[in-house]
Amino acid sequence: LRKGELTTLTAGSGIGKSTMAREIIYHMLNQHKLRIGNIFLEEGFEKTLMSYVAMDLNRPVAALREDHTVVDQDKARASWDKLIHNDNFWFLKHFGSIQSDELMTKLRYLAVVKKCDFIVLDHLSMVISGIATMDERKEIDLLMTKLAAFVNETGVGILSIVHLKRTGGTSFNDGGTVSLSD
């Protein structure tokens, strides 16, 4: 991954795109000491942060989300505090769809004011879902154009996540063929 570029992770639903993005971001934060912005629209702030706590404690995310007692609570609190009070780690507290102009304002704040090196945006489809449109593909293309111009202008790197559209054929998770239009 490079700053000033837009990188997209895409796959079928439930395949692990968000988990992979969090692993990449966690590595960038801890190993490279980069400033990171987190925009996870499919889950609340606490759920996102709990996923990072699980990584910090080297525990499976799903196990910790299901049962918080699988880890020492003092260690979990210390990890939570370390991540939440980290001047290199920023979170957008927002759940659900967000208008593209509002999203761009939030991205600009993270890039310019908080001086983030990278921002993870999970997932792009949630931005489009709030728009009354007959052409979701066109709206995604327009948003991707805005994001590409934004990374070029600011130098921030964006790691975006996009779900493949569901088709009537074989599921992508079961080996269905992916095309560019998906």
Residue 162, phi then psi, degrees to nearest 5: -135, 130
Sign of dihedral through CA atoms 178, 13, 3, 29?
Answer: negative
- Tens-digit pLDDT profile for residues 73-82: 899 899 988 8
CA neighbours within 13 Å on the CB side: how many for 66? 6
Distance CA 162, CA 124 (A): 5
**pTM attached to this predicted model:** 0.86
Digits of tens for pLDDT over the chain (182 positions)?
999 999 999 887 788 888 999 999 999 999 999 999 999 988 888 888 889 999 999 988 888 888 878 888 899 899 988 888 889 999 988 777 778 888 899 999 999 999 999 999 987 777 766 666 667 677 778 888 999 999 999 999 999 998 776 666 666 666 667 766 66
